[in-house]
Structure formats: C-alpha cells, structure tokens
A and B are shown apart, each in its own frame.
Chain A
Amino acid sequence: MTTSSNTASRPGWQRGVLDALPLLGGYIPVAISFGLIASQAGFTALEATLISLLIYAGASQFLLVAMVASGAPLWLAVSMTLLVNVRHVVYAPNLVPDLTQSRAWPWLMHGLTDQIFALAHTRLAQLNHHDKLGWYTAASLVAWASWVLGTTLGAIAGDTLTQHWPLLDAVMPFALPALFLVLLAPRFSNRLWFYTLSVTIISAMVLALTLLKNAAIPLAAMAGGFTFYLLSRPHNKPEQTHAN
C-alpha cells in the first residue's frame, strides 16, 4: 500500500498511533457492547475489564461470557473460546519476515488481533528497521487500551450510551470493513488476486449470513486458497499424442 508522504518523517510510534486510530471506530462500540453484555450476565465492571485485558479477543469473549452465564461446563466454554481463536496461529508467521531482532516481539503478540494483524501485515514491510518495534507497540497499545476502556465504559454505562446514541452504535463499526478494504485495495490491480480476493469476500459474506460468523472466516479463506491454487496452476496440459 502506498502511504502518505507527510507521515513518513514521523517516528515509528507516532505513525503507529495514527494508523491505529481508524480501529477505534470499530473497537469502542463493540467493547461497549461486550461490557454491557458481561454486566447483564452477572459480571462486575472489574471482572469484565479483566476479561478484556487478559483474553483480548472480541468474538471469543462474547462466547465465553454467554456460556459461563448459561451454566455450560467450564471446560467446554474454554474449549470453544480457544477454537474460535485458533485462526490466530497463522498471523504471526506472516509477520516474521518483516520483524526485527528483539526479545520483545513474542510478548507483544498478545496484541495481535485480527485488525492489528491486517494493519501490521501491510505496514511493517514499509517501515524502516528502527521504526518497526515502536510502530507495532504503539498501534497495538492504542487498540488494546480502547478495547479495555470501552469494556469498562460499557459495563458501567453501556445501557445509557446505547439508548442515547443508537445511530453511533450502528455507524461506527463500519470503520473496520473500510480499513480492511483500504488494506486490500492495492492487491486488486493484480488479476490473480482480484479473483481470489473476490471469491473470499463473497464466500465470507454468504457464509456469515447463513452460518456462524467465526466459521465463515476460516472457510472463506479456504475457498480463496482453493481459487488461488486453481488460477495459479500452470496451464501445461499434456500434449495430445496421435497414435495413428
């Protein structure tokens, strides 16, 4: 992705903060919803905040809280939470070629959410070596802080907030698809990627409308992978042999 030249001179951490700002539009309303749902399920504001601080994985937190509240066996609730988050295993290896040598990286992976991965996957390759650690630390801290503070706010005053600004709750989450769209846009100029990404996006939409949202992501990525494989396969048909 091409970046604006006026941000290129800033230190890495400042660019990280700026790049993470669009995420807040998606994070804060969802975190407020989580805080609200957790408090309705019987968790205190402190407990809901600690869940966001420690687990920090949106969809799985909703699932965990709902299962605990419904009295499901805890081993099942934990297993389902981990199953929802299993997609994260492919994120970090994708970033390794662009990372620097620092012992901090494994610890910073706590902040590797879907959105931070999408941002880092594009941005890290464009940054100078000495800016990368600062950029990632700042971007992931901004996102993490917004998620944790949003949860606290939702647990304390979620009811009032959603009643007063229902439109904001419906509009702000569009920041996430808009961000993903911008991150993927440069790839659409390549024919192979155009078809692959189109199949993936459409599959994800269809699956999310018909199945669980969390099954839609890995299944759509598989459909996209299959498309990529089919389209990138060399067309070396075996030559016709004429026996007679």
Chain B
Amino acid sequence: MQTDIWIAIVVAALGTFAMRAVPLLWTQRHFNKHKANNTQAQLPNWIGVLGPLMIAAMLGVSLIPKVNSMAGWSATLAGSLVTVLVWRKTKTLGLPVLAGVLAFGLVFGVSTILT
C-alpha cells in the first residue's frame, strides 16, 4: 500500500484515539481539582443524560434487521420480546442475549423457509 494511504490510516487512528482519551483526561482533571479542594465534583447534567440516550440510539439503529423483510422484522420482534422476558425472569446479562438471538434465529429461519 502507498505511504500516503498509511499516513491517512495512522492519522484516522490517532484522531479516533484522541476523541476517546482526551475527554477522559479533561474530566479526570476536573474531578481531581474538586477532590483537592474537598468539594464534590459532578458531571454536567447533560453528559449524564446523554450516556443512556446514546445507548438507546444505538439500540434503535441496530434493531433494523440486516435483511429488511417480513422475516427480518418478525424475527426482530420475537428476539426483542424473548430478550426482555428472559431478562425480567433472570436479571442477568448473557442469558437474555443468548435467548434473544436463538429466538431471532428460529423465527428468521422459519419465516425464510415459509416465504
């Protein structure tokens, strides 16, 4: 690969790392300053709200099935329902995900065969 493409890749990698790490350093510095002054540091309210909102937005985007068809949407609905039901029963992380994927696969497979 040409050198200029490698430079582009390294710049993209460094930029992405900076966007992940620099806000951490800023916020840690803010918290440490409060600690030194014996005051309670708090995140700005909007940052605390934005965390769950970003997860919800990623959920919405990822819910759209890779195969945009009746089979894909039925499987998404079934997988989501099973995930929530198993979570309510077990309150764990892995088992609801596994059950959801199995339900998704089952409904997707059956619907694909039927249609």
Which A residues contact B (CB, under 8 angstroms)? 1-4, 18-19, 21-22, 25-26, 43-44, 47, 50-51, 54-57, 60, 64, 68, 74-75, 77-78, 81-82, 85-97, 99, 105-107, 109-110, 112, 114-115, 117-118, 121, 167, 169-185, 187, 193, 196-197, 200-205, 208-209, 213, 216-218, 220-221, 224-225, 228
Contact = CB atoms under 8 A, between A and B. Distances in A.
A26 B90 CA distance: 22
B114 interface: no
Interface string B82-115: 0110011011111011101100110011001000
B16 interface: yes
Contacts of B84: 181, 185
Given A106-B25, A110-B20, A180-B62, 12 more contacts: A3-B92, A25-B101, A51-B9, A74-B4, A86-B19, A92-B21, A92-B27, A174-B75, A174-B79, A203-B60, A217-B61, A220-B60
Contacts of A85: 15-16, 19
> Secondary structure at chain A's binding surface: helix, strand, loop or mixed?
helix
Contacts, number: 268
Contact of B16 (A57, A170, A225): A57
B51 A180 contact: no
